[in-house]
Amino acid sequence: MSSLSRYARMAGALYIVASVFGVVSLMYIPNKLLVTGNAALTAHHIAAHETLFRFGILCDLIGGVLFIFVTLALYELLKGVNQRLAVVMVILGSLMVTPLFFVNTVNYAGALLFARGADFLSVFDQPQREAMVLLFVRLHHQLTLANEVFWGLWLIPFGLLVYRSRFLPRILGLWLILGCFGYLALSFSGMMFPQYEDKLFPIAQPLMLGEVAIMLWLVIAGAKEKRLANAAA
């Protein structure tokens, strides 16, 4: 196996693992435990499934850390195409994203504290604690919307590098760039027109599936080093 293919498969494998943790924390946990607009039921679900909720917090942390290594592996793979673009990709894809993942765990930790009803929170009555649970859950979502800006922007340099590489399919580079606009559309709608966020997701999702395509390609097909040599010649 060539060094290029080795970096490609390493990056793809890390990308898949990090994405699995992201799916658990951002999709499975909310769908399983959170009830939109119902503070009492949301607080009850979190308290009744505390271990699962804590696992969601842990997934945020693990996913954030893994994405540092995802972007570093992609940097090693793509720095020969354009080093400046590769540096921008790392900055937008991990150095901006990972701190927000870590900060956002505080919101879920706050929701858990109010859902459990610790002794020092006895100054709040039950409806107030339930309202605070929902407040922290919504703050978590708002910071996720802010992070989606970087989830989108890093796909621009990543997509350009893939498109110019000649050892990865150009269509995947274009698909990644389109995915940027899917994330930005979701972020903008969630902040400005939240009533349309869920309706926009099925439209934006096909654009964002470019990430799934590239991670599977990297793991299964690797990179074609001969194409790189031919391009250089």
- Average pLDDT score over residue span 107-111: 95
- Kindly write down the DSSP assignment for every residue of the chain, as one continuous string: --HHHHHHHHHHHHHHHHHHHHHIIIIIHHHHH--TT-HHHHHHHHHHTHHHHHHHHHHHHHHHHHHHHHHHHHHHHHTTT-HHHHHHHHIIIIITHHHHHHHHHHHHHHHHHHHHT-GGGTTS-HHHHHHHHHHHHHHHHHHHHHHHHHHHHTHHHHHHHHHHHSSS-HHHHHHHHHHHHHHHHHHHHHHH-GGGHHHHHHHHHHHHTHHHHHHHHHHHT---HHHHHHHH-
Is residue 76 scored above 70 in pLDDT? yes
Structure tokens at 83: 């080093």
Structure tokens at 230: 């031919």
- Average pLDDT score over residue span 181-203: 93
What pLDDT digit, counting tens, does each position of 156-183 carry?
999 999 999 989 999 999 999 999 999 9
In the chain, the number of structural domains is 1
Domain housing 62: 3-228
- Average pLDDT score over residue span 109-118: 90
Structure tokens at 122: 């006895």
| pLDDT at position 118 | 77
Say if 233 falls within a structural domain: no
Q: HSE on the CB side for 17, CA within 13 Å?
A: 14
At 167, give phi and psi (nearest 5°): -110, 5
What pLDDT digit, counting tens, does each position of 66-75 carry?
999 999 999 9
Do residues 74 and 11 touch, judged by C-beta distance below 8 A?
yes
Is residue 114 scored above 60 in pLDDT? yes
> What pTM was computed for the model?
0.88
Cβ neighbours of residue 48 closer than 8 Å, sequence gap 6 or more? none
Say if 144 falls within a structural domain: yes
Say if 65 falls within a structural domain: yes
| pLDDT at position 226 | 55
At 221, give phi and psi (nearest 5°): -95, -20
Query: Would you place residue 146 in the very low, low, confident or very high pLDDT band (cuts 50, 70, 90)?
Result: very high
Query: Would you place residue 59 in the very low, low, confident or very high pLDDT band (cuts 50, 70, 90)?
Result: very high
| pLDDT at position 106 | 95
| pLDDT at position 124 | 87
What pLDDT digit, counting tens, does each position of 20-56 carry?
999 999 999 999 999 988 999 999 999 999 999 999 9
Query: Would you place residue 2 in the very low, low, confident or very high pLDDT band (cuts 50, 70, 90)?
Result: low
- Average pLDDT score over residue span 214-227: 82
